[in-house]
Structure 1
């Protein structure tokens, strides 16, 4: 019988529903929780002493899980903590800090298989860390500038001597007027370089444009690399394929040996067991690394290509090689 799997994600995470079904089909015991359930629908008791590590349990209205029995944690996309109505904003902030350090702190000490450990994911989400690690591991990366100095962008554009793009340094998703919005990668035109006063407001990421034959979403699960070629059918999609999903076409593709080796080294260096990596493949066949998302989406890629991503995740969670 496989050791129990703790899954930490939101209730509405439908791709994870498929992983749960696959795990249960294989006979695994699954305990699923969401940080949003704490402290009202999920409770915690943890004890530690000089002669014994952390022990205790997680309990919901329906069931309980002994922390010592957990064999794997699938840390996916938990939501924010939810507290009783009527608390002031300062009270909620204080309670959230206590919950994060208490619940999150105890869970992070679990000595088991993680996909991925939140500490590793948190570090790997920094694009500067990704780019430095990718280059050190033998992957090709675009020439990159991160700055809030307008004069630095002018100098960078002159050095590149060709098109450059601008994209967010952090997550491209934000909320405005209760609506979810996204900032896409944008290729700059000469007019964009005439008035750069807005750059000083915060950090911006600029890169040399890389000519594309197509792009690749490389889903890495453990030692498996599942690659999907993405072909854009519109100008907007060619600039950033996320901006025009309706005009994309997909196919499976092989991964060059040097990319397999470099990506394997990078995942090991970042201590990740799962990552959704994006590459540009040039007309000459050169693969250029763009980024890797430790909790990136994969369900639509499996649907479009038939790549066995659910099975690969289940294998990794159960320690099946």
Structure 2
């Protein structure tokens, strides 16, 4: 296989969503190297790069491939494992090894010359901050529900009282959380002013006006292509009981499509999973954009179309 056309996929070995696209790339005879840098680089894989004036050379070796890092066509940053360091070390040494891997291997993999990133990991990180999402959406002309991020309990209570249609709370980041040593998710939920305690002062909290929605919409953007899916659910947060939701394709209004294009341009995203709440009047309120959101849960025809669009992006490489 020609290394100059290789696609590097950074993800964990249990990522079945990535497999959907990798099968399409295999059918297209596009060479692919799959790597989970947080785990593989202390389990037999190696990464070496040399920098000289006017020259850069590098080699990635896995159990099955040896790849010239200057000839990587595209990098798909899917769901790699976090850098945790090898087992068997003391806590201090393991933290040291993990941080050196993040800043060393992570830096190398984010700086491959001429590679086309979907998405670049630094752009992903920037776009994951909800304040950046809301600010960008507003600038790009999307409707944004009244929102307050604060660690001041009095400000939070005043905001909740001022929103006559109700207020919801949602976490600013999906931090792993355990209750009675069991994994626990913090879902979007409605809150009343009387429920907001002084514990809010511990950290910033996001409070948002509740949208009087008829349904939700997920818009998956891959380059200029948009794939809309209407989500009907009995829950405020449709992710809570996905078995109860129904999902059907839906067209994206032109004004929303233009705003999404501007949003992607400002945050330099090739891929983005946009969530909207749609009212009876047909207003689409932007809720958030996950720059690396899951997509294979949608109707089969939508999932297949998204997978095809991603395969095309990765095959085209830097010419995209």
Superposition TM-score, scaled by structure 1 size: 0.93
Return the offset for 1:40.
Answer: 2.3
Instruction: From the superposition, tell whether residues 33 and 215 of structure 1 become closer, same or farther in structure 2 (CA, over 3 Å).
Output: same
Whole-angstrom distance in 1 between the partners of 2:32 and 2:24: 11
Cα distance per residue 1:170-217 (max 9 Å; x no partner): 126535566432111001135424xx1221111110000101110001
- Which SS does the other structure have where 1:56 is aligned? strand
| 2:48–2:60 Cα contact (<8 Å) kept | yes
Whole-angstrom distance in 2 between the partners of 1:87 and 1:172: 25
Partner of 2:89: 87
Superposition TM-score, scaled by structure 2 size: 0.93
Instruction: From the superposition, tell whether residues 147 and 190 of structure 1 become closer, same or farther in structure 2 (CA, over 3 Å).
Output: closer
Structure 2: gaps (5+ residues): none
2:107 to 102, 105, 108: 105
Partner of 1:200: 201
Cα distance per residue 1:72-128 (max 9 Å; x no partner): 000011102354432111101111111111111111111311000000000000000
Whole-angstrom distance in 1 between the partners of 2:301 and 2:181: 31
2:265 to 265, 268, 274: 268
- Which SS does the other structure have where 1:301 is aligned? coil
Whole-angstrom distance in 2 between the partners of 1:312 and 1:137: 24
Cα distance per residue 1:279-321 (max 9 Å; x no partner): 0010100000000111100011143855511101111112287
Instruction: From the superposition, tell whether residues 307 and 210 of structure 1 become closer, same or farther in structure 2 (CA, over 3 Å).
Output: farther
Instruction: From the superposition, tell whether residues 138 and 244 of structure 1 become closer, same or farther in structure 2 (CA, over 3 Å).
Output: same
Matches within 5 A, 1:144-223: 144-171=147-174, 173-175=176-178, 179-189=182-192, 191-193=194-196, 196-223=197-224
- Please say if 1:299 is aligned against 2:301: no
1:128 to 121, 126, 131: 131
- Which SS does the other structure have where 1:71 is aligned? strand
| 1:37–1:81 Cα contact (<8 Å) kept | no
2:237 to 235, 240, 245: 240
Q: Aligned pair count?
A: 314
Cα distance per residue 1:147-187 (max 9 Å; x no partner): 11111012212332330000001126535566432111001
Whole-angstrom distance in 2 between the partners of 1:71 and 1:176: 44
